[in-house]
Amino acid sequence: MRIAEPERDDVLLRQAARGDEEAFTLLYRRHQAAMYRFALRMTGNNWAAEEIVQDVFMTLMRQPKKYDASRGTIGAFLYGITRNRVMKHLERLPREVALEEKNEDGTGSGIVLQDNATPATWAEKRERVEQIRAAVLELPAEFREAVVLCELEEMSYEEAAAMAGCPIGTIRSRLHRGRALLLAKLEMLRDVPRRASAVR
């Protein structure tokens, strides 16, 4: 199926560069969620992810000519900028892991489990998701990036390699080491409550 000409990303970008605010807004709405989730999964920090997304689209707004259609889609271009901003953020704050953050509406950190389980099961599940999130965030940045791109963003090795700007072999190797570390951390996190309950 072909996307209608006026709604194609590159057409929208051209219109935005000429001052069409609606075109820019449409482009933003189309891509912001993916960029935000990637930034959030990499940084674990709502505020940082928000700043990064804003920064990425500011760049697009101010320098639309930086995008070269022959080098890929606008989505990939935005991912590239987001990745650079995330890496810069992680370099500045290497060990920052958000503990408890509030959304705009005052609710919790944003992880929402959408099922009808009992409160006990829900709490257990939520705790486990938090543990996984923390385990991912504790991975070194390069391994974390491979895990986020291939496992959470569900990109192929080729896409992840293009995004990270490295060969497929490097992504495969980082993913392997990231998985091993993640497994070890998850095992450890799983054992901590068991040991704690055994002591009691």
Partner 1 sequence: MKCEEFEAIGLDAERDASLSEAERAAARAHINSCSRCAAFQDSWLAARTELRSLVEATSEHQAPARVEMRLRQEFRTQHHTVKARRAVVIAGWALAAAAILVGAVSWINWRASQHQGVTSHPGAQSNPANLAASGGSGAKQAPDQNLGANPETLLADNELGDFTLLPGVLPSDTDDAAIMRVRMQRSALGALGLPVSEENAGDWIQVDLLVGNDGLPQGVRLPQEN
What residue ranges bind partner 1 (CB under 8 A)? Answer: 16, 19, 21, 24-25, 28-29, 32-33, 35-37, 40-41, 49-50, 53-54, 57-58, 61-62, 103-104, 110-114, 125, 128-129, 132-133, 136, 147, 151-152, 154, 156-158, 168, 172-173, 175-176, 179-180, 182-183, 186-187
Give the relative orientation of helices 46-62 and 74-92 as an angle to the nearest 10 degrees: 130
Closest contact distance (angstroms) between CB of 126 and partner 1 is 8
Handedness of CA 119, 37, 16, 60 (dihedral sign): positive
5/154 with CB nearer partner 1: 154
CA dist 169 and 176 (Å) reads 10
Handedness of CA 22, 56, 151, 120 (dihedral sign): negative
* Alpha-carbon dihedral 138, 136, 81, 36, rounded to 10 degrees: -120
Closest contact distance (angstroms) between CB of 71 and partner 1 is 22
11/177 with CB nearer partner 1: 177
4/147 with CB nearer partner 1: 147
CB 73 within 8 A of CB 188: no
93/111 with CB nearer partner 1: 111
